[in-house]
């Protein structure tokens, strides 16, 4: 094994004791000397395993109510001492500092304490100082020390102790060190967010049994003028609403339900835009989120007030509109602001994160490549542009139908494109909205010509899609045969 080191001495100080018994016994079975302090020391001693108290090493007791236990040169010297450096070794010997080969330390539950609604004093006491310092010191000296900074790593440590007889490679130690720095970075960020007021506890997460908080400054996004506290799901819908309407090419509104638009329209008359958006799906509008990109008028507010909804967003409100909307005490009224979105999108998966650029691209007429039919007239072009915006913000696989700048229906989150198309066509029919002469937008290419044939049966006059399929020519030929205008954009907009 490359850069092999054998664990002979361990320093253990952990908040969470689950899984510790197995590790402590495995260390003891390999005659590995254990140093510990406080509750961890008591836990291990109760297993009948000998432990050397850190206080005996430092000749200092735990002081200040446990705030200072391990912050001492005899502890950190044993972690940071370089085993190949003659000067370091001489000083370790001079000051009788034992070298540690394994450091097992986790962190106080700061975020859990914050989410519990604890007092400021209790939150402050859960800011770990010694733990972070021990973890960073051990990670820095990965050439000589294995750092285990989370109980999720215990199985990997157990494997080292059993299958590798307590020996580690430099690659393994570096991998553990990388995870240690990730953990401490996230921990410090959470503390920073709390101190700066950028961490907002939420009542619960996506479901009542899940704890949650928001990290960021909502005051830069909107002013809340009325209503109850925003929930986790409210915030997801608010984000979806603003992402969508920011891409609108002109005045309009949208109705959001479960992060998808169930109604949307563009119109110079705000009331007309509202009426057309609502007509797209008045059933799903119940309990939804309404978003506008112009000052909300009293006339529109009066119509919105007829429905139950959770949140309404607009850049401003007339005095009369506010008076009407405030008639329901829990109704959340948000006045939106111009703000800078993160340029990177992050999603937690597996044991890490996926990071990608935000999808800031939208397609206009200049991006359209005509592949079937005649050059669309202005009215049709505007429908195609609006459909392209809507499908970009709809869960994949996605199909949207648009006519006269009104969202007729969507097919969302389907496992096949033809199913998404059928869902949209069926919904438009159920809402008594004729799809004859409508345009269809797809978030990705059509893999087969069956969707083109189904579009013709629905009465679709034009299709906008990115193209890029190996069967593009087959799809194009079907569109020509069925007299459907079709344009390619060259840009896919998957949304998962």
- Give the catalytic positions in this structure: 140, 258
Contact assessment for residue 231 and residue 203, using Cβ atoms and an 8 Å cutoff: yes
15/185 Cα distance (integer angstroms): 18
Cβ atoms 300, 277 nearer than 8 A:
no
Q: How far apart are CA 247 and CA 468, in angstroms?
A: 24
Non-local CB neighbours of 192 within 8 Å, separated by 6+ positions: 198
Q: What is the signed CA dihedral for 276, 281, 285, 286, rounded to 10 degrees?
A: 130
d(CA 69, CA 52): 14
Buried b / exposed e across 13-42, counting CB within 10 Å, b at 16+? bbbeeebbeebbbbbbeeebbbbbbbebbe
- DSSP designation for 218: G
| CA distance to 124, 130, 163, per residue, from 67 (Å) | 11, 8, 37
* CA pair distance 264, 284, nearest whole angstrom: 12
CA 385 to each of CA 25, 312, 361: distance values in angstroms, whole numbers, following the listed order: 66, 25, 13
First to last CA, the chain: 42
Structure tokens given for 406: 């009104």
Structure tokens at 411: 């097919």
CA dist list (Å): 105 to 159, 236, 262? 18, 35, 50
Q: Are 453 and 489 in contact (CB under 8 A)?
A: no
Residue 394: C-alpha distances to residues 243, 281, 353, 358, 412 (Å):
11, 15, 23, 15, 6
Rounded distance, CA 407 to CA 255, Å? 10
**Residues facing 63 on adjacent strands:** 68
- E strands of 228-296, at which residues? 252-257, 260-266, 289-292
Distance CA 463, CA 485 (A): 6
Indicate the DSSP class of residue 296: B
Closest CA to 391 of 361, 419, 371, 411: 411
> What angle (nearest 5°) sits at the alpha carbon of residue 429, between those of residues 424 and 431?
95
DSSP label of 293: S
Instruction: Please state whether beta strands 289-292 and 252-257 pair in parallel, antiparallel, or not at all (unpaired).
Output: antiparallel
């Amino acid at each position: 094994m490359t850069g092999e080191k054998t664990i002979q001495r361990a320093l253990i100080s952990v908040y969470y004791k689950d899984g510790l018994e197995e590790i402590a016994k495995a260390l003891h079975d390999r005659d590995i000397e254990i140093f510990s302090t406080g509750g961890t020391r008591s836990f291990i001693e109760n297993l009948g395993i000998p432990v050397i108290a850190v206080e005996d090493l430092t000749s200092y007791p735990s002081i200040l109510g446990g705030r200072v236990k391990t912050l001492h040169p005899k502890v950190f010297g044993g972690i940071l001492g370089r085993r190949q450096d003659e000067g370091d070794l001489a000083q370790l010997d001079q000051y009788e500092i034992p070298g540690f080969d394994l450091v097992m330390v986790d962190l106080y539950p700061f975020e859990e304490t914050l989410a519990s609604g604890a007092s400021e004093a209790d939150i402050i006491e859960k800011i770990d100082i010694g733990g972070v310092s021990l973890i960073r010191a051990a990670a820095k000296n990965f050439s000589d020390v294995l750092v285990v900074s989370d109980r999720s790593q215990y199985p990997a440590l157990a494997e080292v102790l059993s299958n590798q007889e307590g020996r580690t490679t430099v690659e393994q130690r570096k991998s553990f060190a990388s995870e240690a720095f990730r953990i401490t970075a996230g921990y410090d960020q959470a503390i920073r967010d709390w101190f700066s007021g950028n961490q907002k506890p939420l009542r619960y997460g996506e479901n009542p049994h899940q704890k949650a908080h928001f990290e960021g400054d909502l005051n830069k996004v909107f002013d809340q003028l009325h209503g109850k506290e925003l929930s986790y799901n409210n915030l997801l819908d608010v984000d979806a609403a603003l992402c969508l309407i920011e891409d609108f090419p002109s005045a309009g509104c949208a109705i959001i339900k479960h992060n998808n638009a169930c109604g949307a329209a563009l119109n110079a008359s705000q009331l007309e835009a509202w009426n057309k958006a609502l007509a797209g799906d008045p059933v799903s509008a119940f309990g939804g989120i309404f978003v506008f990109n112009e000052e909300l008028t009293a006339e529109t507010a009066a119509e919105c007030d007829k429905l139950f909804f959770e949140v309404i967003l607009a850049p401003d409100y007339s005095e009369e509109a506010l008076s009407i909307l405030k008639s329901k005490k829990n109704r959340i009224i948000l006045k939106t602001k111009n703000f800078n979105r993160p340029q990177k999108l992050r999603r937690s998966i597996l044991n890490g994160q996926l990071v990608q650029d935000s999808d800031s691209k939208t397609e206009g007429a200049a991006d359209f490549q005509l592949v079937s039919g005649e050059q669309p007239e202005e009215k049709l072009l505007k429908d195609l542009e609006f459909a392209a915006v809507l499908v970009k913000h709809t869960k994949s696989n996605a199909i949207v139908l648009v006519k006269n700048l009104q969202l007729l229906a969507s097919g969302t989150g389907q496992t096949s494109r033809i199913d998404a198309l059928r869902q949209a066509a069926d919904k438009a029919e159920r809402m008594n909205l004729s799809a004859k002469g409508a345009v269809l937008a797809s978030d990705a290419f059509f893999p087969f010509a069956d969707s083109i044939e189904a579009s013709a049966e629905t009465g679709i006059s034009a299709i906008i899609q990115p193209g890029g399929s190996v069967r593009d020519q087959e799809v194009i030929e079907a569109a020509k045969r069925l007299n459907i205008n079709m344009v390619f954009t060259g840009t896919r907009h998957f949304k998962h």
